[in-house]
Every structure is written in structure tokens, then in C-alpha cells.
Amino acid sequence: GQNIDQPTEMTATEGAIVQINCTYQTSGFNGLFWYQQHAGEAPTFLSYNVLDGLEEKGRFSSFLSRSKGYSYLLLKELQMKDSASYLCAVRDRSGYALNFGKGTSLLVTP
């Protein structure tokens, strides 16, 4: 089975940096994904890690440690539009199924 944990809510200030953590315990691992979901909209793909280390994509970076079952999403130079829910998802060994955490609701304040 899969057990994926993320903080429920976080608040940060415009222009700052925020780190959203995700820990997982899985019976199989085939990559970790981060998605962003604005209220009333569909989740959109942000990043993917399958090997240990940091992947950088503009203002967003994602880190993975497979031995620790740990990932984080780092958002730099926060903007008001970054207020959204951030979903951590682990792909299982089959390569087909994504199991999502319950999401972290991020509020960016002026």
C-alpha cells in the first residue's frame, strides 16, 4: 500500500521562499510527482523526480531522497498566484498508478 503525508496548510509572504515537504511509505516506487491545483481547477503537472537529488525548473525545484522516503517542493520568489494546493504523488511499481497525498494548501499573503 501507499502512505503519503504532507502538511495540510502553509502560509508564506509574497517574495519569500517556501518548502513543502512530503514523506512516503510505499510497497513500490517508480517516481514522485508534484502537481499544483488552483481552487476549482484541474491539477497541473509541476515536477518529477525518480533519482535522488534536486530538479530545478525556474522558480520551482523538487528534491528526492529515496532512502528516506522524502521529497520537498521549493517555491522561490513567491507570487500571489502561487496560492494553491500542492499535491505530492508517488507512482507505483506498475508505472501506471499515481497515489496522491491529501495536498498542502498554500496561502501567499502580501
Q: Which of 22, 78, 87, 108 binds other proteins (CB under 8 A)?
A: 87
Q: Confirm or reject binding of residue 99 to other proteins (CB under 8 A).
A: yes
- CB hemisphere CA count around 89 (13 angstroms): 21
Q: Compare residues 16 and 45 and give the one whose CB is closer to other proteins.
A: 45
Q: Which of 45, 77, 79, 93 binds other proteins (CB under 8 A)?
A: 45
Q: Please state, as a whole number, how many other Cβ atoms lie within 10 Å of the Cβ of residue 100.
A: 15
Q: Confirm or reject binding of residue 51 to other proteins (CB under 8 A).
A: no
Q: Please state, as a whole number, how many other Cβ atoms lie within 10 Å of the Cβ of residue 63.
A: 20
Q: How many chain residues touch other proteins (CB under 8 A)?
A: 22
Q: Confirm or reject binding of residue 23 to other proteins (CB under 8 A).
A: no
What is the SS3 assignment for 80? helix
- Lookup: cell for 42: 484541474
Shortest Å distance, C-beta 58 to other proteins: 16
What is the SS3 assignment for 11? strand
CB under 8 A: which stretch of 17-25, 30-38, 57-65, 66-74 binds other proteins? 30-38
Candidates 77, 47, 79, 82; CA nearest to 63 is: 47
Q: Which of 18, 22, 33, 106 binds other proteins (CB under 8 A)?
A: 33
